[in-house]
């Protein structure tokens, strides 16, 4: 995997570009130095990646096709989120539920309620931790850039590593390599012609791919000054139950049901008494 930010470059960047924010916290956070990302952002378009152009290796193309076949038969394929597992990165940025971006001097927070989609993008000049548990959202280090010489940041470059799985790109089950060595680069910026349109150009490097896989995600800002933030809690009312490797449904009346045609019931060998 390619690691774009070396420890040395980050240290230099911290010293050169972010002197006020490294070490001691500044007491006046000059928001005018940063792009105005406040408010509520909704995804533009469908929460999908372009699976037709995903450069999957033959091995992972076969895994993807088997997954699609299972889905066609009523299964969940290899999409792990039906049991409320976090979508992880980069699927988080499909933005299933509205997103808030909170910029602070040391961290940019991506707040999405959906399942477990919160992200921290550290912009305090830190290097990658030597030992840290991998996570679905990964560990993200960002760097603000002033690309126009206006003395105002207009681009946030981000790299994300330290991921765990299973993860897929979207609900089609497009897979990542199970080694979880994925590295994700992002360029996050406001549209030059429309300040209410946010871009996230995402490039994925993964061993299930023959080359980098890129998506250009867009989000539109809602006009409401006080947007509605609905709580989205996947386990609340989730009808999917995973027993062993099988997905079952729980009916509205509470009974266990097959999720696929002719699905066998779960093995009840640990019960002394049955209800039928």
Partner 1 sequence: MLYRTAIGAVSLALVMGAPIGARAFDESKYPDFAGQWKRPNGIGNQFDIDKPKDRGQQVPLTPEFQKIFEEGLKDQEAGGQGNDPTYICIPDGMPRVMNVIFPMEIVVTPTTTYMIVEYLSQLRRIYTDGRDFPKDYEPSFTGYSIGKWVEPDSTGRYQALEAETRLLKGPRTYDPAGAPLHPDNDSVIRERIYLDKADHNLLRDDITTEDHALTHPWTVHKRYVRVENPIYMEASCSEGNPHVRIDGQNYMLSADGHLMPAKKGQKAPDLRYFK
Give the one residue of 57, 104, 203, 214 binding partner 1; rule: CB under 8 A: 104
Q: In 3-state terms, what secondary structure has residue 11?
A: helix
Note whether 275 binds partner 1 by CB under 8 A.
yes
Name the segment binding partner 1 (CB under 8 A); options: 19-27, 55-63, 203-211, 212-220.
19-27
Q: Select from 18, 68, 85, 197 the one that contacts partner 1 (CB under 8 A).
A: 85
Query: Closest distance between partner 1 and the C-beta of residue 185, in Å?
Result: 21
Q: 108 near 142, Cβ under 8 Å?
A: yes
What angle (nearest 5°) sits at the alpha carbon of residue 103, between those of residues 34 and 139?
A: 120
Q: Which is nearer to partner 1, 54 or 156 (CB)?
A: 156
Site string for partner 1, 200-239 (x = CB under 8 A): --------------------------x-xxxx-xxxx---
Question: How many residues in the shown chain lie near partner 1 by CB under 8 A?
Answer: 65
Residue 218: CB partners within 8 Å, gap ≥ 6? 43, 44, 45, 197, 198, 199, 200
Buried b (16+ CB within 10 A) or exposed e, 89-128: bbbbbbbbebbbbebebbebebebbbbbbebbbbbbbeeb
Q: Is 73:261 a contact under the CB 8 Å cutoff? A: yes
Q: Give least dist CB 233 to partner 1, A.
A: 6
Please work out, in degrees rounded to the nearest 5, the angle formed at the alpha carbon of residue 192 by the alpha carbons of 187 and 195.
95
Instruction: Tell me whether residue 54 or residue 123 sits nearer to partner 1 (CB atom).
Output: 123
Q: How many Cβ atoms from other residues are within 10 Å of residue 46's Cβ?
A: 9
Query: CB of 3: closest distance to partner 1 in angstroms?
Result: 21
- By CB under 8 A, the residues from 137 to 166 that bind partner 1 are 137
CB atoms within 10 A of CB 156: 22
Which residue ranges make up the site for partner 1 (CB under 8 A)? Answer: 25-32, 83-86, 102, 104, 107, 109, 111, 113, 115-118, 120, 129, 132-133, 135-137, 226, 228-231, 233-236, 241, 243-245, 250-251, 253-258, 262-276
């Amino acid at each position: 995997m390619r690691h774009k930010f070396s420890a040395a470059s980050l240290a230099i960047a911290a010293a050169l570009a972010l002197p006020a924010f490294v070490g001691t916290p500044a007491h006046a956070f000059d928001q005018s130095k940063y792009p105005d990302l406040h408010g509520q952002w909704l995804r533009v378009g469908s929460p999908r990646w372009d699976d037709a152009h995903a450069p999957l290796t033959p091995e992972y193309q076969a895994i993807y096709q088997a997954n699609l076949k299972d889905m066609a038969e009523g299964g969940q394929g290899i999409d792990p989120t039906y049991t409320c597992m976090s979508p992880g990165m980069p699927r988080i940025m499909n933005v299933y539920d509205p997103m808030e971006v909170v910029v602070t001097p040391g961290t940019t927070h991506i707040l999405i309620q959906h399942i477990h989609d919160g992200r921290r993008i550290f912009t305090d000049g830190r290097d990658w931790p030597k030992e840290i548990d991998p996570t679905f959202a990964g560990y993200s280090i960002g760097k603000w850039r002033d690309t126009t010489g206006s003395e105002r940041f207009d681009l946030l470059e981000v790299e994300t590593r330290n991921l765990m799985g299973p993860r897929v790109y979207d609900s089609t089950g497009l897979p990542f390599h199970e080694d979880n060595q994925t590295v994700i680069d992002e360029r996050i910026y406001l549209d030059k012609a429309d300040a209410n349109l946010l871009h996230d150009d995402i490039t994925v490097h993964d061993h299930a791919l023959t080359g980098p896989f890129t998506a250009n995600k867009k989000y539109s800002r809602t006009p409401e000054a006080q947007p509605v933030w609905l709580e989205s809690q996947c386990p609340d009312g989730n009808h999917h139950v995973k027993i062993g490797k099988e997905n079952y449904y729980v009916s509205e009346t509470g009974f266990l049901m097959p999720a696929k045609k002719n699905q066998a019931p779960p093995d009840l060998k640990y019960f002394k008494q049955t209800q039928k």
